[in-house]
Amino acid sequence: MGEYRCRRTAREPTVTRRQNAHPGIPRRAGQRRLGAAEGVLVALLGCTLDEAFTDIVHTAKRHNVAPMELADALVSIAEKNAPGDPDDPVVAAAYRAWGDRLGDTVRH
């Protein structure tokens, strides 16, 4: 089973949204991708949007990857358009965290 966690524990601080969290992705496109990734987690895990956002941020931190890049990888996997190289740390983090919940998505 993956390491997904949508429920916040007492030890975890509340994460708030920051504007322009990743300078490499245009703000509007990044917001759409992040919103889509949150929606994927809400559907997969039955959590709230805020819990999904927190899960993305904490998973990114745990795997030392950018949250926006992780969100992008999650959406690509959910669309069954697995992004690039499966050895890419961002793609690998998304598969480790939520891959088992994405059903029959084929890992490259």
* pLDDT 10s digits, 51-60: 999 999 999 9
User: What's the sign of the alpha-carbon dihedral 88, 50, 33, 17?
Assistant: negative
* pLDDT 10s digits, 65-78: 999 999 999 999 99
- pTM across the whole model: 0.70
Long-range (24+ apart) CB contacts under 8 A made by 83-91 are: 89/63, 89/64, 89/65, 90/63, 90/65, 90/66
Report whether pLDDT(27) > 90.
no
